[in-house]
Amino acid sequence: MSAMAAIDKHPRPWPRGGPWHASGAMSGDERLQVAAIAGAVNGAGKMNPRARCAREWLANAVAIFLSGLLLTIGVRSQAQVTNEALTAGSAACAGDNGAITLSPGFCATVFADKLGHARHLVVAANGVVYANTWSGRYYHDDTPPPGGFLIALQDTKGDGRADKIVRFGPTKADGNAGGTGVRIYKSYLYAETNDRIVRYELPANGIEPTAAPQTVVSGLPLTGDHPMHPFAIDPQGNLYVDLGSATNSCQSQNRMPNVPGNNPCTELETRAGTWRYDANKLDQHFSPSERFVTGLRNGEGISFDSAGGIWATQHGRDQLGQNWPKFYTLKQNANLPAEELLQLRKGSDFGWPECYYDDAQKKLVLAPEYGGDGGKAVGVCSQKEAPVAAFPAHWAPNDMLIYEGSQFPSAYKDGAFIAFHGSWNRAPEPQGGYNVVFQPLADGKASGPFVVFADGFAGAFKEPGRAAHRPTGLAVAPDGALYIADDQGGRIWRVSYLGGNKSAGIAAAAPSPLPTQGTTTANVLPPEGIHPHAGAGSGLTPPGASPDQVALGERIFHGEAAGGTCAGCHGTDGKGTAMGSDLTSGKWLWGNGSVRAITQTISQGVAKPKAHTGVMPPMGGAQLSQADLAAVADFVWAIGHQKPH
């Protein structure tokens, strides 16, 4: 047997097609070493038995040596090839996982970045990823990237990064604003766009559809607080569409203090539930008759388990403390009500707007708009369906996926990954969410507590206006990898399990560290932290006010005094979020920017916003004295006059 034949017979450290085979990573010097040794072993000439025995011993020794050499070469090339984050069973990831932390054994690559406001995702059988993106008032009517709102992405190199990205579908110039939902059923890509769900025939060649879309269902409601239409399609072709509520709690004056709820809540006829259509039929039209479940305020995440069970998330209502201060403190508001994971069955009623889920009491209780008294009264809520699992208040579950892949450890099978967009309504308490959690499930029930699976998306600032990223979408690839989308920075991560132990249990991600001094991150912080308006009072004091007055207003604005809630909607930097306007731009939506006009707006509230989604109750929902009100108005004046306009 020749030495090279012995190498072929000896078990390879990787199968044929492993790192050195695919990349040709053996250097010229290494090839010469192999050839020289092989030539020496296979030298011609007759040998006596002793020499032949020595030759055979040498051949075997060289075979083992060369296998070790190839193993060394393979390991070195593995470090050089970017398509392998780490070798199986290793405990460390290459790179920083796209600035997020993950449960042990998992690693991530940034699959794509700066895509616009990426919402939901789906992965085709050939590995092509499709994303839907959104625009409009939720994003300050900013300018989306050029091209269509739908995106096809493909990794042709196997390195965990999309190198082929094509935008298609309707554009802003077409009068379109994109959408959230996107799914694949049979040979079609289904996508939400404005008031309808359409489908595109998947291409035989290339990655983006070329045929014109066909309308599956149209006339979906676009008004109110929740105009998005996420959806899912089961294997039988049932198309389940979320139609979120138009209001926070079905009041006649949305989000206003002490206003009772409409009784009956006629909004439930066309909103706040899941509707069911047929994915195989074209030109269906929205109507109340297709409602599948009700009392679901905003169920953006819909998924199916292996037994055919239908699951959905629920965004709990907002502003218990701001709108009903006689029953709830702002601290209680930060922890009520829970976000929910629900199992859907035809005809189910999950209680909105009459009820909300109190996780501390583990039960549905009556909402104050319908006679509730701060959590004691139950009333009709005893007849409503409680969640299977509950999560911290206001985290905002924007997508959910029942994991049916085979790549992750078996403990993840049939459990739910939930993408939490992050809170705004926990002020003056710290905001929460901005993560992806895993909830284990078994037999239609929670089989353990949830764990934070992926964290660190927000970066240094865990608040809506300043977070680096906000999770919005989840999808699983044919190989079992998990994709996570974000609508703040437009990033998609690809998460793989490389821990090597398929029997591993469920473990939480490491807490995400804040950027430290000396790093290369753009969010590096000084040792004393960042206080955007620390100098706002210096030379920026309205007539008749004092620097101390402006400083008090700043503390109230940031929730450090008088229970102020302003930063929850307007951001700690005052530059606005989807919920509240930019107060630093010098452009005043209400009044002329004078202290008097600002005071009047804060005092009266904003019942019908002109350009944002957040309704502002009088005094922002806080119990401000006249002195507090004057101080906040002075501070808002100051940050709005920092530069000439």
Quick one: pLDDT at residue 420? 98
Q: Give the residue from 502, 455, 454, 505 showing the smallest Cα distance to 89.
A: 502
41, 61 Cβ separation under 8 angstroms: no
* Alpha-carbon gap, residue 179 to 133, rounded angstroms: 6
Identify the residue with better confidence: 111 or 80: 111
Identify the residue with better confidence: 514 or 363: 363
Q: Give the residue from 510, 529, 405 showing the smallest Cα distance to 452.
A: 510
CB neighbours of residue 127 within 10 Å: 16
Quick one: pLDDT at residue 513? 57
The yes-or-no verdict on residue 591 having pLDDT over 80 is yes
According to DSSP, residue 479 is labeled T
232, 122 Cβ separation under 8 angstroms: no
- pTM for the full model? 0.74
- At 451-508, the pLDDT tens digits run 999 999 999 999 998 999 999 999 999 999 999 999 999 999 999 999 989 999 999 9
Q: What is the mean pLDDT of residues 334-357?
A: 98
- In sequence order, the β-bridge partners of residue 201 are 188
The yes-or-no verdict on residue 261 having pLDDT over 90 is yes
The yes-or-no verdict on residue 12 having pLDDT over 80 is no
Identify the residue with better confidence: 89 or 608: 608
- At 104-120, the pLDDT tens digits run 999 999 999 999 999 99
For every residue of 188-233, which 3-state class applies, written as one string? EEEEEECCEEEEEECCCCCCCCCCCCEEEEECCCCCCCCCCCCEEE
Q: What is the mean pLDDT of residues 119-126?
A: 98
The yes-or-no verdict on residue 512 having pLDDT over 90 is no
CB neighbours of residue 97 within 10 Å: 20
Residue 360 φ/ψ region, left for φ over 0, alpha for ψ in the -120 to 50 degree band, beta for the rest: alpha
| Percentage of residues of the chain with pLDDT beyond 90 | 63
- In sequence order, the β-bridge partners of residue 121 are 131
Residue 101 DSSP SS3: strand
Q: What is the mean pLDDT of residues 82-93?
A: 44
Can you read off the two tokens belonging to residue 610?
């002109």
CATH topology of domain 547-640: Cytochrome Bc1 Complex; Chain D, domain 2 (1.10.760)
Taking the chain, what is the end-to-end CA distance rounded to the nearest angstrom? 86
Q: CA 277, 283, 289 angle in degrees (round to 5)?
A: 40
Q: Give the residue from 256, 267, 226 showing the smallest Cα distance to 369.
A: 256
Q: Give the residue from 473, 514, 509 showing the smallest Cα distance to 490.
A: 473
Least confident of 446-450, 459-463, 485-489, 539-543: 539-543
- At 408-436, the pLDDT tens digits run 999 999 999 999 999 999 989 999 999 99
- At 560-581, the pLDDT tens digits run 678 788 887 888 788 888 778 8
Residue 379 DSSP SS3: helix
Rg, C-alpha atoms of the chain: 29
Average pLDDT, the chain: 83
Q: What is the mean pLDDT of residues 172-187?
A: 95
- At 516-530, the pLDDT tens digits run 333 323 232 332 232
> Torsion angle, CA of 9/10/16/21, rounded to 10 degrees?
-110
The yes-or-no verdict on residue 222 having pLDDT over 70 is yes
Quick one: pLDDT at residue 560? 66
* Alpha-carbon gap, residue 70 to 45, rounded angstroms: 29
Q: Give the residue from 307, 309, 271 showing the smallest Cα distance to 291.
A: 271
- 427 Cβ contact list (under 8 Å, min separation 6): 330, 334, 559, 564, 565, 566, 567, 568
The yes-or-no verdict on residue 19 having pLDDT over 60 is no
The yes-or-no verdict on residue 35 having pLDDT over 80 is no
Instruction: Provide the residue ranges of all domains of the chain, joining segments of one domain with +.
Output: 3-80, 97-497, 547-640
Identify the residue with better confidence: 609 or 387: 387
Q: What is the mean pLDDT of residues 333-348?
A: 98
The phi and psi torsions of 106 (rounded to 5 degrees) equal -105, 145
Ranked by mean pLDDT, the top range of 40-44, 380-384, 597-601, 633-637 is 380-384
143-180 per-residue burial string, b: 16 or more CB within 10 A, e: under 16: ebbebbbbbbbbbeeebbbbeebbbbbbbbeeebbbbb
Residue 132 DSSP SS3: strand
The phi and psi torsions of 178 (rounded to 5 degrees) equal 75, -150
pLDDT band at 605 (very low <50, low <70, confident <90, very high): confident
- 483 Cβ contact list (under 8 Å, min separation 6): 111, 121, 123, 129, 473, 474, 475, 476, 477, 492, 493, 494, 495
Quick one: pLDDT at residue 514? 52
- In sequence order, the β-bridge partners of residue 486 are 471
Least confident of 35-49, 162-176, 239-253, 487-501: 35-49
The yes-or-no verdict on residue 228 having pLDDT over 80 is yes
489, 469 Cβ separation under 8 angstroms: yes
Residue 603 DSSP SS3: helix
Residue 574 burial by CB count (10 A; 0-12/13-18/19+): exposed, middle or buried? buried
Quick one: pLDDT at residue 504? 93
| Domain 97-497 listed as CATH 2.120.10.30 | yes
